[in-house]
Amino acid sequence: MFVRTYAGAIVGIDAVAVTVEVNIAGGGLGMYLVGLPDNAVKESEQRIRAAFENSGEKMSGRKVVVNLAPADLRKEGAAFDLPIAIGILAAMGRVEGRDLEGTMLAGELSLDGSLRAVKGVLPMAVKAREMGLKRLILPCENASEAAVVEGVEIIAAESLKQTIAFLNGEQTMIPALPPQETEEVEAGIYDEDFADVKGQEYVKRAMEIAAAGGHNILLIGSPGSGKTMLARRLPTILPPLSREEALETTKIHSVAGKTGVSSGLMTRRPFRSPHHLASQVAIVGGGQNPSPGEASLAHNGVLFLDELPEFGRGVLEVLRQPLEDKKITVSRAKYSVEYPANFMLVAAMNPCPCGYYNHPTKECTCSPGSVHRYMNRISGPLMDRIDLHVEVTPVDPASLSDMTPGERSVAVRERVIRARAIQEERFKGVCGVHTNAMMNAALLRRHCALDGDTARLLERAMNRLSLSARAYDRILKVARTIADLAGRERIEASDVAEAINYRSLDRGSWGK
C-alpha cells in the first residue's frame, strides 16, 4: 500500500516541504530509506522499531520503502521520525489516512514512544500555512513556539500512541494557543537600566544616537570605566520589535534551537556576546550541518564584541561583509545558505595592552609602538564600518557616590522611537532600508544635503583626521540621526560637528 505524509526540511531560516512517501509491498524484507537522508535520519529506523514495540504496534514484516522527496535535497535531523512512523502505520492500515493530506508532522521519537522537541518548528508552521495545510502535529515542548503562526492548527502530542489515537479519531486534542506576553515584557521593563550608570553623559549620548539610527559603535577605555555596563544596557533603549521583526528573529533562533520550552514570539531584541575565542563558523554560521552563527542570532538586535582586539583577525574580517550587506551567505561544496544579519555592532576594547593609555590618573607602561600595534589588530576597513568611536573615561569617585538616579531607559527609548518613526516615514517605499545607518549613496545625496559652511567644515575635518570616503558617509549618516533626534529637517553645522567628534579615535588621530 502507498501512503504520503508531509514534513519540513530547514534550508537557511526557512522550511522546504518534504513529502514522505511510504510504500509497503511484497518481494523482500526490511526498511529502505532513500532521498538523501543524513545519519540522524538513517538511524530513525531503529528508533521507530523500538517506539512501535513500546506503543503496542508492530513493524510490517514486508518490504518498506520510504522516499523523502524532493530526492536531491539533503534531509537532516531527527524531526523526520514522526512523519515516517505515521506514514508506515498508515500504509499498514493502522492509522486512518484521510486527514494525512492536510497534516504536517515533526518530532523525534524516543525508544519508549514519547516525542522529543526538535529545531525549526516555527518555519515549518509558516510553510504548512503557505501550503494550505490544516494542521501541524509536533511535540508538546514545541507547541508554544509554533502556535504564534495563525491560520494553521498546532496539535501538541506527548507520544506516538497519542498521535495515532488523534488521527484515528479516538482522542480529541485542542489546538495549542500562543503564550500571553507578561506585563513586564509589554511595558519594556528590563532588569538593567541606564539610570544605574553614574556619569558618562557623553557616552550615553553616543549610545542614544547609535540606537536612534541603528549605528555601530566602538567603546574604548581603561578597565573598569563602564564599557560593558553601558553596552549591556543598549537593548533597553532600542524600540520594541515589530511583528515582522519578531517573527523573523524567532525563526532564526528556532532553527538554531535557541528558543525556550514556553516561548512564543521573541519580544525583546536579542543581545549576543560571544567570547573572543569564538571561531569564524561560530560567528557567521555554517558547519557540517548548517546553523546560524552569532551574527545572525543578533539579527534585529545587538552583537557585542568585548575585548575586540583579542578576537582572531580572521573572525573580525568575516564581519565586514554582513556589516555592509546585512546578510551572510555561507557557501560550501555541498550547500549554500543565506542568513539575515541586520545587527548593531557594539564593540569594546582597552586603549593599549596595559589598558591605561590616556588614563587621567594612572600611567601607561606601554611604548608608543606597542600602542599602535595593539590598535592595528583592528583593520582600517573594519574600523571604517563602525560609525561612532567613543572614548570612555573613568568616573570620578564623587559621581560614583552620588545617589541621585540618572535618566531612565524608558525616557531615552521614547526619544529613540520618535527618531525611528521619522526614519520609517523617510524611507517608506525603499526596500530594505529602515534606519539612517542603512542608507546607500543615492539616499545620502537626497537626505543629507549640506549647505556651504557645513560642507566646508566636514571637508576640513576629513583632511585633518585623514578620514576615508566611507568615514565621510558614516559622518553624514550620524549627523542625519542627530538632526532627527532634535526634530530638524535639515542637517546643521552643529550636527556635523558632533558627528565628527565621534570619529576622534580614527587611525589618523589616535595616539597623537
Per-residue pLDDT tens, the chain, 512 aa: give them.
899 999 999 998 999 999 999 999 876 778 999 999 999 999 999 999 999 999 999 998 889 999 999 998 999 999 999 999 999 999 999 998 777 989 999 999 999 999 999 999 999 999 999 999 999 999 999 998 899 999 999 999 999 999 999 999 999 999 998 877 544 444 456 788 888 888 888 999 999 999 999 999 999 999 988 899 999 999 999 999 988 898 999 999 999 988 654 567 888 899 999 999 999 999 999 887 788 999 999 999 999 999 999 999 999 999 998 998 899 988 877 778 889 999 999 999 998 999 888 888 888 898 888 888 888 888 888 888 899 999 998 887 777 777 777 889 999 999 999 999 999 999 998 888 899 999 998 999 999 999 989 999 999 988 888 788 888 899 999 999 999 999 999 999 999 999 999 986 664 445 54
Rounded to whole angstroms, the Cα distance separating 457 from 479 reads 13
pTM of the shown model: 0.88
Which residues are within 8 A (CB) of 318 and not within 5 positions of it... i.e. 6 or more apart? 280, 283, 284
Residue 504, number of CB atoms within 10 A of its CB: 14
Give the chain's radius of gyration (CA, Å).
27
Cell 480529541 identifies what position? 172
Angle at 346 between CA 350 and CA 415, to 5 degrees: 125
| Residue 22 · residue 105 · CB < 8 Å | no
Rounded to whole angstroms, the Cα distance separating 37 from 172 reads 33
**Strand pairing category for 388-392 and 217-221:** parallel
| Residue 24 · residue 1 · CB < 8 Å | yes
Rounded to whole angstroms, the Cα distance separating 144 from 124 reads 13
